[in-house]
Structure 1
Amino acid sequence: MASETPITSASELTRGQRLRAIMAGSAGNLIEWYDFYVYAFMALYFAPLFFPQGDRTAQLLNVAGIYAVGFLIRPLGGWFFGRYADRRGRRAAMVASVLLMGAGSLLIAALPTYAVIGAAAPLLLLVARLAQGFSTGGQYGAAATYLSEVASTKNRGFYAAFQHVTLMGGQLSALLVLILVQQAFPEDTIRAWAWRIPFALGAVIALVVLLLRDHMHETVTPADGAKDREAGSLAALARHPHALFVVVALTAGGAVTLYTFTTYMQKFLVNSAGMDVKTVSGVMTAAMVVFMLLQPAIGALSDRIGRRTCLLIFTGVMTLAAVPLLTALGKVEGPVQAFLLVLAALTILSFYTAISGLFKAELFPSHVRALGVGLAHSVSAAIFGGSAEYLALWFKQVGHEGWFFVYVAGLCLLSFLVALSTRMPRRDDMTA
């Protein structure tokens, strides 16, 4: 891989270089999240092929279990790629994680079903999701760190918000591909084999990151010698326990809300509200477009009112709104009502997602920034985000679906209390 002279300050970049760097870094993030979300959106179709026993909820529980396991390995990926990004550069870590994600998608696309190879089928599905979870754990910290460092100080919130624009762009792309597959093939064909197409596409587009890497200007000098031996080390990170706690606590409410109202909502509206699969896909696509467009606006607002104020708005409002919103969504009678309710939830969530990577990056010094963000975020996302879908389905199966709604509100209350008691730093120099 070709390497440029490291640029250690965003002030050294021209406006054109900065924009190209942000676009290239964001594109890699989009590819990564497209591959990750395709699994969630295609689960309704391939679940019976890998777990043929039981009713729809039981099958989805099995698939959600593997989905959750993909989250559980994310802290390991956050540690591995975070250390690599702090020691060898943000760009190298982002490229490597995207290529690993593509490999996981390729394995799923080619995977034989339970009818062909028996119990080995769900086992190999698990292996693929472990690779993807490992990759995702690395991408988040490296991307959040890179975009916060390459952005200008005055507009850092606006530029850093593009991490979530592309995260949602990846999810939206997965939804759009799902809709195209639904329009191109009858349902029986999709369930038989056409569900593989989005995974195969994800493997191919992962290679695009290789074409973009020369536009991703490095923001740190690779560690070399004794003076840099602590870069990306757990020993150095351990000196920042408060920052680690804040990231874990605030990610708890953010992650459970994000995965509840995005990936799980696709299944919730079908399985609980009784809506048609294609109708739900249209509702979620429209809501996600608006959600994506909100990110830069909220990011720019954070440059004026501060990250902490945005976090207080999200956690405080969602604590009060989670139960009534989810209760109403479980009883929707049409797509317009579903769209408005989902959009209301996503608008509240935007006050977290737009600044999620940035406020975490500003908590840590540069030599442990990617590790601190990636590891702490991945631990919390694994515990609270990765389990959200499984818990929701389990509560439904035992006849107490409403308890999950209270659980979401409770985590948001915890995050609110932490945000209320924490002073968020505002770093002018992200190389420090």
Structure 2
Amino acid sequence: MNPTEPIAATSGVSRSTRAAAVLRVTSGNFLEQFDFFLFGFYATFISKIFFPSTSEFASLMLTFAVFGAGFLMRPLGAIFLGAYIDKVGRRMGLIVTLSIMASGTVLIACVPGYASIGLLAPALVLLGRLLQGFSAGAELGGVSVYLAEMATPGNRGFYTSWQSASQQVAIVMAAAIGYGLNEWLSAQQIGAWGWRVPFLIGCAIVPFLFMLRRSLQETAAFEARQHHPQAREIFSMLLANWRIVIGGMLLTAMTTTTFYLITVYTPTFGRSVLKLSTADSLMVTLLVAVSNFVWLPIGGAVSDRIGRKPLLLAVSVLAIFTAYPALSWLADAPSFARMLIVLLWFSFFFGMYNGAMVAALTEVMPAEVRVAGFSLAFSLATAVFGGFTPAVSTYLIQVTHDKAAPGYWLSFAALCGLCATLGLYRRRASSSASAASSA
């Protein structure tokens, strides 16, 4: 790997101006996670409306498969939209990704059920998920790189952590709306039409998010670059740096798997597997999102002080050896208190790991393909690991009859993160040493 071009930080910008820029750029992340969480939380209802079957397991698996299909589009979005953002700029590219994402959101919110339009209903839901996945493929990378390029010296981990922190705000809001609906409506009302209400709220805030995105300024780091590569150049550079992309995918596997396990899958796991109440599952999810919001910037700040590598290694090892025992303890005697304790523990190592990982991934990518490379690595991890975590967890529990089986999947993802950290930083050290000797 060739040493990457330093990420230049702008200077002379007030703290309030930077805070406003963080809010504007992360607004799209909010919409993405708001809808993704809702799809996972209302999976049971969506399965009955759009994927009716004589088997509840089959309906749920079809729903989670469609949920996961959106993640298969992420690598394509990362390549094509990521290349577009690296060519035309962060601001314009992020407006485009928000437009595509909003289209998918509106489609899912408004599609009639299977009973009304037959097979067209699940087909349109699938199309909506594919649009969301395509846009999300570059959205997260574009936001992360924007934050990295606007960060003040020595604080890149702290700034980039707000990419994920914004998603936690979305989960808190979605869980709070779901909790309110659960209190105000009957299960029959929620199943018939109430589940659409949060999706429609997401549609209603789209104009506000567009207003925020349109007021973004281009980053100084992008404007200072003398050469903005064409798409063909970007594709060639991605191919030349395929080892870094694969390493970045494995590095990200830990964070995507943990995130979708403790947020999107938690409500279904609590209701269908542990047989806890809907209110308990929602409250745990809400508190976990608050915990994530707290730990993410702490993880980023700690990595700014002690380095990315030590933190990534420590948390990976912690996850490998505690994921299954923690879930096994929960499965032995399911309760609200035990579920909260276990998921807050997972939230701790998610926040600390991800706080360091996002900054690390922006730093190992070559500058010319920083958005495309970051987005492709993250999208592959989400497609292979995180996005299918609900489906894999459901399958593992079904075939093993072990309610703690998702812990195996999480430990495996943590092992991938451990190996990737060692490999990427060894390669980076070798490249830096080679560059220093040749100079």
Query: What TM-score do the two structures reach when normalised by structure 2?
Result: 0.89
- Code of the residue aligned with 1:258 in structure 2: it is F
CA distance 1:415–1:227, shift in 2 (3 Å): closer
Distance 1:398 1:202, change over 3 A: same
Are the aligned partners of 2:106 and 2:200 in contact in 1 as well (CA < 8 Å)? yes
Aligned to 1:45: 45
Deviation string, structure 1 residues 168-221 (Cα, Å, up to 9, x no partner): 222222212211222222211111011111111112212222211354221155
Letter in 2 for 1:305: I
Task: Name structure 2 gaps, 5 residues minimum.
Answer: 1-6, 430-439
Equivalent positions of 1:117-128 (< 5 A) are 117-128=117-128
For 1:417, the equivalent position in structure 2 comes to 419
Deviation at 1:120, TM superposition (A): 1.5
1:89 aligned onto 2:89: yes
Alpha carbons of structure 1 residues 153 and 398: separation in structure 2 relative to 1, 3 Å: same
Match of residue 166 from structure 1: 166
Q: Deviations over 1:276-322 (max 9, x none)?
A: 11211012111221221111112111110111112112211000011
Which aligned pairs between 1:259-278 and structure 2 lie closer than 5 A? 259-278=260-279
> How far apart are the structure 2 equivalents of 1:407 and 1:246?
19
1:206 maps onto 2:206 in alignment = yes
Partner of 1:229: 230
**Structure 2 matches for 1:219-368, cutoff 5 A?**
219=219, 221=222, 228-229=229-230, 233-368=234-369
Q: Which residue of 1 aligns with 2:433?
A: none
For the structure 1 residues 333 and 306, does the alpha-carbon distance in structure 2 shift closer, same or farther, using more than 3 Å as the test?
Answer: same
Contact 2:249 2:378 in 1 (8 A): yes
Residues 1:383 and 1:277: Cα distance change in structure 2 (over 3 Å): same
Q: Is the 8 A contact 1:99 1:207 kept in 2?
A: no
Rounded to whole Å, the distance in 2 between the matches of 1:337 and 1:164 is 26
> SS where residue 42 of structure 2 aligns?
helix
Aligned to 1:430: none
**C-alpha distance in 1 between matches for 2:133 and 2:228:** 33
Q: Distance in 2 between matches of 1:11 and 1:231?
A: 33
Off by >4 Å, runs of 4+ in structure 1: 220-227
The one-letter amino acid paired with 1:251 is T
CA drift of 1:227 comes to 6.7
Question: How far did 1:403 drift?
Answer: 4.7
- Tell me the number of residue pairs that the alignment of Structure 1 and Structure 2 aligns: 420
Distance 1:89 1:326, change over 3 A: same
User: Structure 1 pair 214/9, CA: closer, same or farther in 2 (3 Å)?
Assistant: farther
TM-superposed CA distance for 1:91, in Å, is 1.5
SS of residue paired to 2:417: helix
- Cα-to-partner distance string for 1:114-139 (whole Å, 9 max, x where unaligned): 11111211111111111111111121
Q: Give the superposition deviation at 1:268.
A: 1.2
TM-score normalised by structure 1 residue count: 0.91
**Conserved in 1, the CA contact under 8 Å of 2:36 and 2:264?**
no
Distance in 2 separating the partners of 1:52 and 1:373? 38
Compute the displacement of 1:86 (Å): 0.5
RMSD: 2.3
Identity among equivalent positions (%) equals 29
Q: What is the alpha-carbon distance in structure 2 between the residues aligned to residue 174 and residue 342 of structure 1?
A: 18
